[in-house]
Amino acid sequence: MIRFECDYLEGAHPKIMEALMSTNFEQHCGYSEDDICTEARALIKKAVQNENADVHFLVGGTQANLTVIASALRAHQGALCADTGHIAVHETGAVEATGHKAITLPSENGKINAKQIASYVDEHFGDASFEHMVQPGMVYISHPTEFGTLYTLKELTEISETCKQKGLYLFVDGARLGYGLMTPGTDVTLSDLARLTDVFYIGGTKVGALFGEAVVIMNPALKRDFRYLIKQKGGMLAKGRLLGVQFKTLFTDNLYFEISKHAIDLSEKIRNCLIEKNIPFLVPSPTNQLFPVIENKALEKLKEKYTFSTWAKVDDNHTAIRICTSWATKEENVDMLIRDLEAM
Amino acid sequence: MIRFECDYLEGAHPKIMEALMSTNFEQHCGYSEDDICTEARALIKKAVQNENADVHFLVGGTQANLTVIASALRAHQGALCADTGHIAVHETGAVEATGHKAITLPSENGKINAKQIASYVDEHFGDASFEHMVQPGMVYISHPTEFGTLYTLKELTEISETCKQKGLYLFVDGARLGYGLMTPGTDVTLSDLARLTDVFYIGGTKVGALFGEAVVIMNPALKRDFRYLIKQKGGMLAKGRLLGVQFKTLFTDNLYFEISKHAIDLSEKIRNCLIEKNIPFLVPSPTNQLFPVIENKALEKLKEKYTFSTWAKVDDNHTAIRICTSWATKEENVDMLIRDLEAM
Amino acid sequence: MIRFECDYLEGAHPKIMEALMSTNFEQHCGYSEDDICTEARALIKKAVQNENADVHFLVGGTQANLTVIASALRAHQGALCADTGHIAVHETGAVEATGHKAITLPSENGKINAKQIASYVDEHFGDASFEHMVQPGMVYISHPTEFGTLYTLKELTEISETCKQKGLYLFVDGARLGYGLMTPGTDVTLSDLARLTDVFYIGGTKVGALFGEAVVIMNPALKRDFRYLIKQKGGMLAKGRLLGVQFKTLFTDNLYFEISKHAIDLSEKIRNCLIEKNIPFLVPSPTNQLFPVIENKALEKLKEKYTFSTWAKVDDNHTAIRICTSWATKEENVDMLIRDLEAM
Amino acid sequence: MIRFECDYLEGAHPKIMEALMSTNFEQHCGYSEDDICTEARALIKKAVQNENADVHFLVGGTQANLTVIASALRAHQGALCADTGHIAVHETGAVEATGHKAITLPSENGKINAKQIASYVDEHFGDASFEHMVQPGMVYISHPTEFGTLYTLKELTEISETCKQKGLYLFVDGARLGYGLMTPGTDVTLSDLARLTDVFYIGGTKVGALFGEAVVIMNPALKRDFRYLIKQKGGMLAKGRLLGVQFKTLFTDNLYFEISKHAIDLSEKIRNCLIEKNIPFLVPSPTNQLFPVIENKALEKLKEKYTFSTWAKVDDNHTAIRICTSWATKEENVDMLIRDLEAM
């Protein structure tokens, strides 16, 4: 079976495995206070082009989300997000479990916009009984979104400005950030994210690492005591050096970007094939996640050989599926899939 | 510098690294629902000699503690523990952050006993205003304790019986379980833990793994929906197979026990040397953590070559330190330390 | 200024004030363990026609909601409710602050139905990644709803059966229950609520009391340790007898029902006048809350003499307002309002 | 039976009942935004001699404690308090339920001191693994304490200075503040509390009101958004005017102080009688709570006529009890008790 259902099917990039092997018997102090983590942090600061960034390594995305949000918000505040946002739908209420509401806004292809945010905040404070409602304290967006779509630099800048104007933090979930950054046509760079957000994270789990997310804190108010929060929420890895090794490797010699490009190149091949075949898409996603709407009979045939995620029943005869490529996807498997699609 | 300050200084046992390498490009579904995890679970069920055990893999100890406790207790209940218990002192209030109080009992060398537990519960329910106090809902103990000491089978049995009698769950934190099981003279086995507790965990992070703890749930009431809790608390590893690979390796061919014995053999060597030198101990710990009280001047000398944890200032001239051995400790380093201790 | 904006503008019914006065210097033990509370509880058990009901007195509605929900749900569970439900929109995230998500369903005139609930639960457990989502553990509905509408006995029975079938608790917020029960045409009685729900509460604050809600627990699983939760959530009134006195008075000689009827009779008068004037309603509410859509110019005029709640801007020239009657509304004021409406 | 077990046995002072009666049919907007609350706030600002104080009315003490603490602390912080502090022992973990640990310090007669606080903070930040422990963020003390003892102005000033120096908020629980302020020999005034604390509350429940505590916030950082917290924690009374009426009455014509003095005068009478009889005290409390150690046989005799709280078993033949006077205690009952004590 060849798997395309998600982008965390394999282990790690061989260079990471090598680095883990070669440092395996080095002795390092715990909790990411070791030299390798220091080096990795320096590389990331350089990549985001900001020396004042605080970089923390966490194990996973839900952990990163709940830790950042619990650290940033006061008890009566919530996080504004798309109604399709990961914190709203796929984290078992992790944010609510820290006491904060994920306040959802209607989204289009996974995205929300500055105007919606401004309206929500204005309506909140304009209501006579505003104290009876959760105060919006932060905006959470994903880039790429859960539907593989991307914000433009203009959209991101507007959201950032609105957040500053309305007194909200801006937090960007970058679980698949590498893929977003390497998508042709995007005008958003790593340093834009550092410039426009209060905090964001660079996903490793889905982009070449065994696991790990690098949380980058830009706003000084959010830097204070963040390590306490990591520990309290169970995210302080004893052998923190493992995260250091992985991110050091990813941010050496552009590896993070190169392997992201690999995934994007392969998804482009599949996308083109689907377009040629006139197969419609649930969402026009330019990144490594594709959401074609497939005829059920054809899908049954494909499933004998491949795995996909089932995304939505579109009608009695059609199903939207998710096809993911990743840093680890083999071109030969993509070519085989394309041949099978063409033969349909 | 040769480090003895803790038992998580190195990466993982070479067999684990090999297994990670050899499975690296296998495609596995996420969240520990893969075949390797299934195999690992089967091996652990066999090791604890109970087919009905539910086995879940978590990344770290604090995460395991807070997830188990949040899953088991109702909102008004707390966990009884030693005043030196890890959840009470070294987890940044992780348990309180889930809403539950760590209720501390005075401890002796890290241990509490059945009588204390029974008294506490009786006093609680005997008080006219019992509803004004946190209800004890669980007993949390560590085996080995944070001071390297061990419960005897008799002590553990009494605690277990008291818990059953008083309606409390018994949860054993086994972050260093392997070392406890392989300590000469202990009469507690893995299957005893399965028989006497409602839930416990088998520590991997400190015993040969890169990271990972295997939570073993025995009480059916605690099994229900535990995976929801893992996800909510940020502990659901996307590439769960990594935990499966590690625990499968540890529980194949007795690896977990053999490497634990290695640490115990080496700590025994150091302990004997310290005893011969008439160096007193803060705590009489039989496992891989030693707490000798060293004269400050000698300590300064040793610190030029070795790292230890500073545990407590005993008097103006003496300091209690912690010396740890582990699965990775090199015998040559222990021998060197012993020579230097003897030369003091 | 004559106020119609809500149903908690005055103090308490004179009989309650009298009872408070006449018992003022009696000495009673605290925390609702006194004799008056016992009598009040007996009267309520009689009124709900079930001797096995557990009755607890809380001070307010938000407090009652958060305490019941925190007591009933496990950490990974949430409460299904209308998207207009009080817990979802007007309690500053009180439920989320206890760690639980309010999961919203689209509502019609404030109501949800059994089919929606069943579908939601089926979809939840049918999803491959159900553990990544909050588990529905309870249904919360308001009767009357926040829009003054009522469930029919058939609707309530279907919801109750669906809850039982799907393993959810059913919790009814009865902040305005008296008004609902006395509305002409309703076929839902107090004993129906006791029979069909796991827990509900009988609102006092809005129906004649200074403050206070009587939580009635029917499901034995929810009875256990509820007083601990009341205390923990800050709802254990030291002078609990105050709640006892109030509910004893309300449930003596049908007072609760009579004063509710008074409000309903007066709202009926206003409703009829509005209908005659062909003024449309935002929601067809049969109880003590009316939501007419008024022309802005006329509204400005009315506001010189009366207060209403502004509910929604309907278009540039029309605004939906809320007019409330209550146990304390004076008929002469209603008549004056009607004259002014007719003169418009 | 004549009751002396606590200071919340009766309703409210007749002047409060009168004021509630005379305003009962006035129409006031909800949630303490009415004119009476405004007047009450003004009177309290005057009493604490600080125009910049923010005054909020809450229903009860546990509610006030958990709301203030949840509002003030970040997620990783805890509240330092006496091991006998109300939040630590008698609130069913209300503070922990908001995610924060009550960090206990050994106390003497219910009191802690500046030196202890300074040491704790210094040790915390001096520890290499400080991020693994709850950060002290606030000091909570009760004045009078749970044992009826009082801080001197010097002690309070030292605690206040230490808190400022160490970056902790100082919060004083004044559930019985009136009694403390009117105790002969105390040099602490209401304006001292306003000057030395960040936030404190003036207890009404135990000092003449039916219920209610006036939270006085001095530190601007703590003022922001406090009403959101009140609502979220279930403490926003719909008919907030009830609290306004009560505190307006208490702070008109010195009523709060006069009725407090009444309790103190009567407790002084009982204390003197006990001293004359050479009956020892568990704690030397100068306020309205007395903790005499009574011979069991004599106690049995007294209990035929009076109720007390049982505080502690001192030895096989002696029990420490609590005798409380209050604003409502009748002098004739005190005289009777004295006669019966003398006759023992």
Quote the pLDDT of residue B344.
85
Q: What are phi and psi of A157, to 5 degrees?
A: -65, -40
**Judged by CB atoms within 8 Å, which residues 97-126 of A form the interface with D?**
98-99
Query: Which residues, in sequence order, are CB contacts of D167 under 8 Å at separation 6+?
Result: none
Quote the pLDDT of residue A228.
98
Ramachandran quadrant class, A324 (left: phi over 0; alpha: psi -120 to 50; beta: rest): beta
DSSP assignment string, C62-90: HHHHHHHHHHH--TTEEEEEETT-HHHHS
CA distance C199 to C220: 10
Averaged over C135-144, what is the pLDDT?
Answer: 98
If residue D243 lies in a helix (H) or strand (E), which one and from where to where?
A: helix D241-250
Shortest CB distance from B76 goes to which of D92, D99, D131?
D92
Shortest CB distance from B211 goes to which of A21, A233, A237?
A237
- List the chains bordering chain A where 3 or more Cβ pairs fall under 8 Å: B, C, D
Residue B2, SS3?
A: strand
Q: Write down the domain spans for chain A.
A: 2-7+255-342, 14-250
Is any Cβ of chain D less than 8 angstroms from the Cβ of C84? no
Shortest CB distance from C10 goes to which of D9, D25, D205?
D25
CA distance A162 to A98: 26
Chain B residue numbers with beta carbons less than 8 Å from the beta carbon of C98 are 75, 99
Q: List the single best residue of A96, A129, A303 to mutate versus C (max C Cβ within 10 A).
A: A96
Indicate the residue type of C85.
Answer: G
Is any Cβ of chain B less than 8 angstroms from the Cβ of C297? no
Quote the pLDDT of residue C10.
98
pLDDT tens figures, D228-285: 999 999 999 999 999 999 999 999 999 999 999 999 999 999 999 999 999 999 999 9
Strands annotated E in chain B: 2-3, 54-58, 77-82, 102-105, 135-142, 169-173, 199-203, 213-217, 289-290, 293-295, 306-307, 309-315, 318-324
Ramachandran quadrant class, A93 (left: phi over 0; alpha: psi -120 to 50; beta: rest): left
| Nearest C-alpha in A relative to B20 | A11
Query: Which residues, in sequence order, are CB contacts of C210 under 8 Å at separation 6+?
Result: C11, C12, C16, C20, C242, C246, D20, D239, D242
Q: Could you give the percent of chain C with pLDDT greater than 90?
A: 99
Residue A37, SS3?
A: helix
pLDDT at residue D344 greater than cutoff 90: no
- Topology classification of domain D2-7+255-342: Aspartate Aminotransferase, domain 1 (3.90.1150)
Q: How far is B17 from chain D (nearest CA, A)?
A: 29
Residue B97, SS3?
A: helix
Q: List the single best residue of B56, B66, B73, B76 to mutate versus C (max C Cβ within 10 A).
A: B76
Rg from Cα positions in chain B: 20
CA distance C308 to C6: 8
CA distance B176 to B248: 18
- Classify residue C297 by its DSSP letter: H
Question: What band does C97 get if pLDDT is binned at 50, 70 and 90?
Answer: very high
Is any Cβ of chain B less than 8 angstroms from the Cβ of D27? no
Q: Do C233 and D94 touch (CB under 8 A)?
A: yes
Pure H helices in C98-189 = 114-126, 153-166, 177-181
Query: Which residues, in sequence order, are CB contacts of A316 under 8 Å at separation 6+?
Result: none
Q: Is the dihedral of CA C27, C30, C36, C38 positive or negative?
A: negative
Q: How far is D157 from chain C (nearest CA, A)?
A: 30
Quote the pLDDT of residue A88.
98
Pure H helices in B202-313 = 220-223, 226-232, 241-250, 255-276, 296-302
Q: Do C97 and D233 touch (CB under 8 A)?
A: yes
CA distance C16 to C25: 15
The mean pLDDT of chain A is: 97
Q: Is the dihedral of CA D5, D10, D16, D20 positive or negative?
A: positive
Q: What are phi and psi of B235, to 5 degrees?
A: -105, 5
Q: Do A76 and C91 touch (CB under 8 A)?
A: no
| C-alpha to C-alpha distances, A157 to A286, C214, D314, D326, D335, nearest whole angstrom | 20, 51, 70, 63, 77
Q: Is the dihedral of CA B59, A77, A45, D127 positive or negative?
A: negative
Enter the pTM of the model.
0.97
Is any Cβ of chain B less than 8 angstroms from the Cβ of A60? yes
**CATH code, residues C2-7+256-342:** 3.90.1150.10
Averaged over A184-207, what is the pLDDT?
Answer: 98
Beta-ladder partners of D77: D135
Among residues A286, A61, A92, A263, which one has the least CA distance to residue A174?
A61
pLDDT tens figures, A316-334: 999 999 999 999 999 999 9
Q: Do A26 and B10 touch (CB under 8 A)?
A: yes
Beta-ladder partners of D105: D82
Quote the pLDDT of residue D290.
98
CA distance B310 to B294: 10
Is any Cβ of chain D less than 8 angstroms from the Cβ of C94? yes
If residue A81 lies in a helix (H) or strand (E), which one and from where to where?
A: strand A77-82
CA atoms within 13 A of residue A139's CA, in its CB half-sphere: 31
Copy the structure tokens of residue B162: 């008291």
pLDDT at residue C344 greater than cutoff 90: no
Is any Cβ of chain D less than 8 angstroms from the Cβ of B128? yes
Q: List the single best residue of D76, D223, D230 to mutate versus A (max A Cβ within 10 A).
A: D76
C208 near C16, Cβ under 8 Å?
A: yes
| Nearest C-alpha in B relative to A245 | B11
Is any Cβ of chain D less than 8 angstroms from the Cβ of C24? yes
Q: Specify the CATH number for D14-250; select among 3.40.50.2300, 1.10.760.10, 3.40.640.10, 3.90.1150.10.
A: 3.40.640.10
Averaged over A288-292, what is the pLDDT?
Answer: 98
Question: What band does B223 get if pLDDT is binned at 50, 70 and 90?
Answer: very high
Chain C residue numbers with beta carbons less than 8 Å from the beta carbon of A127 are none
Q: Do D135 and A75 touch (CB under 8 A)?
A: no
Copy the structure tokens of residue A165: 């104007």
Indicate the residue type of A156.
Answer: L
pLDDT at residue B128 greater than cutoff 90: no
Is any Cβ of chain B less than 8 angstroms from the Cβ of C227? yes
Among residues D273, B186, D298, B23, which one has the least CA distance to residue A328?
B23
Averaged over C32-55, what is the pLDDT?
Answer: 98
Q: Go through chain D and tell me how many residues it has.
A: 344
- List the chains bordering chain B where 3 or more Cβ pairs fall under 8 Å: A, C, D
Q: Do D135 and A228 touch (CB under 8 A)?
A: yes
Quote the pLDDT of residue A110.
98
- List the chains bordering chain D where 3 or more Cβ pairs fall under 8 Å: A, B, C
pLDDT at residue D335 greater than cutoff 90: yes
Is any Cβ of chain B less than 8 angstroms from the Cβ of D91? yes
Is any Cβ of chain D less than 8 angstroms from the Cβ of C288? no
Return the number of other C-beta atoms located less than 10 Å from residue B113's C-beta. 17
Averaged over B203-223, what is the pLDDT?
Answer: 98
| C-alpha to C-alpha distances, D144 to D86, D156, D174, D285, nearest whole angstrom | 11, 12, 7, 9
Averaged over A18-32, what is the pLDDT?
Answer: 98
Indicate the residue type of B16.
Answer: I
A188 near A181, Cβ under 8 Å?
A: yes
Is any Cβ of chain D less than 8 angstroms from the Cβ of B11? no
- Classify residue B150 by its DSSP letter: -
Query: Strand pairing of A293-295 and C213-217?
Result: unpaired
Averaged over D204-212, what is the pLDDT?
Answer: 98
Residue C111, SS3?
A: strand
pLDDT tens figures, D79-136: 999 999 999 999 999 999 999 999 999 999 999 999 999 999 999 999 889 999 999 9
Among residues B134, B4, B144, B142, which one has the least CA distance to residue B79?
B134
B312 near B320, Cβ under 8 Å?
A: yes
Q: Do B133 and D92 touch (CB under 8 A)?
A: yes
Q: Do D24 and C10 touch (CB under 8 A)?
A: yes
**CATH code, residues B2-7+257-342:** 3.90.1150.10
Shortest CB distance from C225 goes to which of B74, B132, B225?
B74
